[in-house]
Structure 1
Amino acid sequence: MGIQDIIEGKKQWRAHMARVKALPPDYQIVYKEIQRYIFKVGPIDLLDGPLLSGIIDFFEEGVGAGKGVLELIGNDVAAFCDDLVKDSRTYADIYQESISGGPGTAEK
């Protein structure tokens, strides 16, 4: 990864966060909780995929329709996040494999 890639990545991230800051306060709070959860547990290819920007798109549509954030995602943010990443390989999967001797781990 070169310096230009880093600079471009920062520009994209700042533009992404500007979209978050344009959302109503309740949406911002829920987005930050989703982001925290996904960064902790989420898919390995998070940075390469459209997951976070897709959430912003979804939220912007909800704001446009006049819906509250909990009307869109329900009361359980973690369950919503789990549904988003259910078909993706996550860091939690890698950890489970490492402690159980699953695929991709060496026998000790």
Structure 2
Amino acid sequence: MNIWEKVTGSDMVKEMKALEWRAAKLPADYLAAWEEIQANLWTYADFSGRNLMPILDGALGLLEEMAMEGQTVQEALGNDIRGFCSALAGDEGAKSYRDKWREQLNHRIAKKLNGQGAKK
């Protein structure tokens, strides 16, 4: 990957197109699960989303393998896709970008408020 691809994100576009091409071959119930996995995982993305590319690739690989073995989506992922995605992203208590931004904002506000109180 060259610097231009990294700056423009064209490398990620290529990767996502390849993932979508693979996902299009899945049975309908697996394709619906894939779309739900994507929707839930993107909340754990960093600024660029590059941190999710290997996770998405692995999740799609799991779906492809389970579909080839003839398992149902529930057998492969269980009934809690959101929990599955949380576990993929790190831990059961993994924080989304909203949680991280909220903590950062609260920290900055507390720092400003504490700084003003000390100046008096």
TM-score (norm. length: structure 2): 0.71
Q: Which amino acid aligns with 1:61?
A: E
Q: Distance in 1 between matches of 2:13 and 2:89?
A: 24
- CA displacement, residues 67-104 of structure 1 (integer Å, 9 cap, x when unaligned): 01111111111111111113466413312313431xxx
Structure 1: runs of 5+ lacking an equivalent: none
- Larger helix proportion of the pair: 2
Equivalenced residue count is 104
- More off after superposition, 42-51 vs 4-13: 4-13
Of 24, 28, 43, the match for 2:27: 24
Matched, 1:84 2:88: yes
Cα RMSD, aligned residues only: 2.4
Task: Please report the TM-score for the alignment, with normalisation by the length of structure 1.
Answer: 0.78
Distance 2:74 2:67 in 1: 11
Q: Which runs of no fewer than 5 residues in structure 2 stay unpaired?
A: 113-120
Find the structure with the greater CA-based Rg: 2
Preserved contact between residue 44 and residue 97 of structure 2 (Cα < 8 Å): yes
Detail structure 1 runs of 4+ shifted over 6 Å in the superposition.
none
- Looking at structure 2, the residues matched to 66 and 12 of structure 1 have their Cα atoms a distance apart, in angstroms, of 27
* In structure 2, distance between residues paired with 1:10 and 1:43: 15
How far is 1:27 from its partner? 0.6
Q: Which moved more, 1:18-27 or 1:45-54?
A: 45-54
The answer as to whether partners of 1:43 and 1:90 remain within 8 angstroms in 2 is yes
- RCO higher in structure (CA 8 A, sep ≥6): 1
